[in-house]
Amino acid sequence: MPDPVSSIRNLGPAYEAACARAGIHSARDLRALGADVAYARLLGTGMKPHFIGYYVLVMGLQGRPWNDCKGKEKAALRKRFDAINSAATPATTHGLAAELDAIGVRVRPDQLTPDT
């Protein structure tokens, strides 16, 4: 049996369940994807972005305690988190906006042209 996601430091049953929803079923899979790709997949399942959840993952994959992230390292991780979150935003649209997008009622910003 593969090692569970929760066998990675800092990651418990809730994180493991979120990973399962994203198709990440083992610690090995999570390590192979890396923190950035895995977090983007989590956001793609509708998980709300949360900076602490991101850096807990990064620290866990490094075998470090979650609260070991400080200073310049934390600031650099914040930039990575913001970039991942920005890239995932269209995939995480929910509710009425998602339904309107699905039937083509609402024009998304990426569909605008200069003459729109």
CATH number where 52 lies: 1.10.150.20
Return the pLDDT at 2. 77
Q: CB within 8 A of 19, min separation 6: which ones? A: 5, 25, 30, 38, 42
Q: What is the pLDDT of residues 60-114, one digit of tens each?
A: 999 999 999 999 999 999 999 999 988 876 544 556 666 666 666 655 555 555 5
Residue 92: its pLDDT value, please?
A: 45
CA dihedral (66, 68, 69, 73) positive or negative: negative
Report the pLDDT value the prediction gives residue 101, as an integer from 0 to 100: 61
Q: How many domains does the chain have?
A: 1
Whole domain around residue 79: which residue ranges?
Answer: 5-111
| Per-residue pLDDT tens digits for 11-44 | 999 999 999 999 999 999 999 999 999 999 999 8
* Mean pLDDT of all residues in 1-11: 91
pTM (two decimals): 0.74
pLDDT at 116 over 70: no
The answer to whether 24 and 17 are in contact (CB under 8 A) is: no
